[in-house]
Amino acid sequence: MGSLFHPIGSQPAWVYWARRGALVLAVLAVIAALIFVFRPQPEAPVAGIPVVPSVTPEVTPSTTPSVTGTPSPSPTPTGPLACDATNTRLALAGYQKVKQDGKQLFTLSLTNTGSETCLLTFSPSVFTLTVTSGTDRIWSTDDCAKWVPTQKGKLKAGKAFEFTVNWSVARSSAGCKLSKATLGTGTYVAAAAFDTNAKARQVFQVVKA
C-alpha cells in the first residue's frame, strides 16, 4: 500500500502519478464504452398513420332518358283505305216539282274522288237524308233504317256507288211511321249527308194535287 501512494523508483514521483492517472482514465474509458454499448435501447416511436374512411361516391341519376337505336317509323297502312268524307263526293237529285199525293224519287251517288281504291261500308249509321220546310223537319231516314240501302265493298278511284230513296210526300216519325195528313204546298229542301261532312242538297216544290 505504501508503494501505491508513495511511488518508489528512479523517476520523479509525478511521472509515476501521471502514468497511474493515464491508466485510470483508460480503464474508465473502457467501462464507459461498455456501458454505452450494452445500455437498454429505447423503443422506437411508432408514427401514427391516419385512417382515411372509405367513401363511396354518390351516383346522381341522369334526368335524360337513355335512347338507344333509331325510332322505328310508323307502319305504312296496307290495303285500301275506308271511303269517307275526305275521299268521296256525294250528289243528290230529284224531281223539281212533286204533287201532294205523288212520290219524290231521290237519286244519289257517292263517288270515289281519291287516287286509290277505297273500302265502302254504306249503312244508315253513316248516311242520312232529311226533308225540311223552313225550320220544320218533315221527313228523315233517321226515323227508319230500312229506307237506306246497305252496301259493302271496294270502290275504285273515279267510280260511284249509286242508289235511290223514295219519299211518299208525308211526314215521318220514329218507328218508320208516316202521317196520313196531306202536306202543304211550298218549297222543300232535301239534305243528304255521308260520314257527317260529305253533304248534298236538292230544292224542290210540292204543288197542289
Per-domain residue ranges for the chain?
Answer: 3-7+10-37, 81-207
Length of the chain: 209
- In the chain, what percentage of residues exceed pLDDT 70? 72
Q: With 60 as the cut, is the pLDDT of residue 147 above it?
A: yes
What pLDDT score does 76 carry?
56
Better-predicted residue by pLDDT, 54 or 173: 173
Better-predicted residue by pLDDT, 119 or 45: 119
d(CA 134, CA 187): 8
Residue type, 204: F
Q: Sorting pLDDT into bands at 50, 70 and 90, what band is 42?
A: low
We find that the CATH architecture of domain 81-207 is Sandwich (2.60)
H/E run at residue 32? helix 13-37
pLDDT in tens, 58-94: 545 455 545 455 555 555 556 789 999 999 999 999 9
User: HSE-up of 150 (CA within 13 Å, CB side)?
Assistant: 5
Contact (Cβ atoms closer than 8 angstroms) between residue 173 and residue 143:
yes
Which residues are within 8 A (CB) of 73 and not within 5 positions of it... i.e. 6 or more apart? none
Residue-by-residue DSSP string for 45-109: PPPP-PPPPP-PPPPPPPSSPP--S-PPPPPPP-SPEEP-TTTEEEEEE--SEEETTS-EEEEEE
Average pLDDT, the chain: 83
d(CA 55, CA 72): 43
Q: With 80 as the cut, is the pLDDT of residue 152 above it?
A: yes
Q: With 60 as the cut, is the pLDDT of residue 47 above it?
A: no
Better-predicted residue by pLDDT, 10 or 75: 10
pTM of the model: 0.63
